[in-house]
Amino acid sequence: MPSTVALIVAAGRGERAGSDLPKQYADIAGKPLLSWTLGAFHDHPAIDGVRVVIDPAWRDQYDRAVDGLDLGPPIDGGATRQASVAAGLEALTDHAPGNVLIHDAARPFVSANLIQRVVDALATDRAVLPGLAVPDTLKRCETGIVVATEPRDGLWAAQTPQGFHFDAILEAHRQATGQALTDDAAVAEAAGMTVRMIEGAVDNTKITTPDDLERARSSLGRREIRTGMGFDVHAFTDGAHVTLCGIDVPHTHGLAGNSDADVGLHVLIDAIFGALGTGDLGTHFPPNDTTWHGRPSSDLLAVAVAMMKERDARLINADITLICERPRLARHQPVMRERVASLLDAPLSRINVKVTSTDGLGFAGRGEGIAGSAVVTMDLPAP
Ligand code: CTP
Ligand code: MG
């Protein structure tokens, strides 16, 4: 398999997007537009390397956008897109790849599937571009007046990434120096190469105007609300207190379990894992893993809270119910609630702790143990 490098052109000024900061560095849901675009290529199994062509005047912004990504050094672009691509190709000649995919930084919606289809097509074609057949009737206008209706048969709107055998497109760009060609397929055509059109993707649009930036913010920054629930029971054993929601409550018995058997925090943790869609207590803290034995359940909760933070999940509310006949818990409710709020680093208003009995029925009624359940709601980035 020939190696494939993605060359991302990001040296434009973004004048039509109308802000001082070039659009590729605009904040989209917490990270620069360029980071969204790079993510699609950086993590793609068919892409061996990613290089970015930039305007060095914006080097600080570039460094922020690629923080944490493993890329080669940026390449200085030129006054036009064509000049920027040419500079990028020349910079790749030292370690020339077999294929190059040339892509606009301003197309952040590019999908893994489209990248794969362009790479696949390069097995049989030297030049490949994705596009969409033009669906609208086409009018030619002069000063706002229609002068002709143009046939749209055979007309396609070009997208990127456009894929090429590296040597062929490098040579084509060298021949095209000084011309004003707006995409690399046009450069290939000018050199007489056969250019294969494949089906593009409807949402692979280019960010051009302020409205486009707003649309990118609402679609890439999409979040969703998710709910998880937890249920758990611990049996009484010898002891002088039970630990519930991080609080020690004096009692004639203790609760049995590997950790402090805090049924209140266990159901809360399971509810968090439920909302995150990531298994349960047993998955993350296997009972035979002695690391967690004897540790307070607040340590386990800290792990779950860290996972929420990592996923950029924000707690909406947590509601815990404890079920037992004895000990009487009502007077401990406010302090349990405060403790849970502080462990979750959440305002008190988002936390609730309820206590109930079972009217003497069942294992709780017979005083054999304590049950708990919890529901957690959070808001997090949509997958
Ligand atoms: N581009 C580039 N070098 C240039 C001009 C453009 O690398 N001299 C890049 C842009 O950064 C963008 C892509 O080519 O990712 C497509 O160009 P376009 O959408 O026209 O972006 P800009 O030229 O930045 O925007 P505008 O034309 O509105 O100024
Ligand atoms: Mg431009």
CA 78 to ligand 1: nearest atom:
8
Tally of helices (H runs) and strands (E runs) in the chain = 12, 19
Q: pLDDT (tens digit, 9 = 90+) per residue, 207-253? A: 999 999 999 999 988 899 999 999 999 999 999 999 999 999 999 99
What confidence score (pLDDT) does residue 166 get?
98
Instruction: Give Cα 225 to chain centroid, integer Å.
Output: 16
What confidence score (pLDDT) does residue 258 get?
80
Sheet holding 223-237, edge to edge: 254-255, 223-237, 369-381, 314-323, 351-356
Q: Which protein residue has the closest C-alpha to ligand 1 atom 26?
A: 14
CA 85 to ligand 1: nearest atom:
7
Residue 183 DSSP symbol: S
CB distance 331 to 284 below 8 Å: no
What confidence score (pLDDT) does residue 77 get?
98
- Ligand 2 center to 162 CA (angstroms): 17
- Ligand 2 center to 14 CA (angstroms): 7
pTM for the structure as a whole: 0.76
- Ligand 1 center to 72 CA (angstroms): 21
Q: pLDDT (tens digit, 9 = 90+) per residue, 120-174? A: 999 999 999 999 999 999 999 999 999 999 999 999 999 999 999 999 999 999 9
Ligand 1 within 6 A of 321 CB?
no
Specify the 3-state DSSP secondary structure of 260.
coil
Ligand 1 within 6 A of 14 CB?
yes
> How far is Cα 77 from Cα 96, in angstroms, rounded to an integer?
18
Query: pLDDT confidence of 22, banded at 50, 70, 90?
Result: very high
Ligand 1 within 6 A of 9 CB?
yes
CA 15 to ligand 1: nearest atom:
29
- Ligand 2 center to 15 CA (angstroms): 7
| Average predicted confidence (pLDDT) for the chain | 96
What confidence score (pLDDT) does residue 70 get?
87
What confidence score (pLDDT) does residue 130 get?
98
Query: pLDDT confidence of 354, banded at 50, 70, 90?
Result: very high
Judge whether residue 294 has pLDDT over 90: no
Question: Looking at the CA of 13, which ligand is closest?
Answer: 1
Judge whether residue 287 has pLDDT over 90: no
What confidence score (pLDDT) does residue 371 get?
98
- Residue 371: phi and psi, rounded to 5, are -110, 160
- Ligand 1 center to 82 CA (angstroms): 10
Percent of the chain with pLDDT over 70: 100
Residue 118: which of 26, 195, 189 has the closest Cα?
195
**Which residues lie across from 223 on neighbouring strands?**
381
What confidence score (pLDDT) does residue 2 get?
87
What confidence score (pLDDT) does residue 67 get?
92
Ligand 1 within 6 A of 213 CB?
no
- Ligand 1 center to 15 CA (angstroms): 9
Q: Please tell me which residue, 200 or 257, carries the higher pLDDT value.
A: 200
Q: CA-CA distances (angstroms) from residue 145 to 67, 137, 141, 142? A: 50, 15, 5, 5
CB distance 121 to 25 below 8 Å: no
Query: pLDDT confidence of 293, banded at 50, 70, 90?
Result: confident
Ligand 1 within 6 A of 138 CB?
no
Q: Strand runs (DSSP E) across the chain, as ranges?
A: 4-10, 27-28, 31-32, 49-54, 75-76, 99-104, 127-133, 138-142, 145-150, 156-158, 162-165, 196-199, 223-237, 241-244, 247-250, 254-255, 314-323, 351-356, 369-381
Q: Which protein residue has the closest C-alpha to ligand 1 atom 16?
A: 104
Q: CA-CA distances (angstroms) from residue 116 to 187, 189, 275, 347, 354? A: 23, 23, 32, 46, 52
- Ligand 2 center to 30 CA (angstroms): 25
Q: Is the peptide bond before 286 cis (omega within 30 degrees of 0)?
A: no
Question: Looking at the CA of 17, which ligand is closest?
Answer: 1
Ligand 1 within 6 A of 11 CB?
yes
Region 8-30 average pLDDT = 96
| Ligand 2 ion: nearby residues, β-carbon < 5 Å | 12
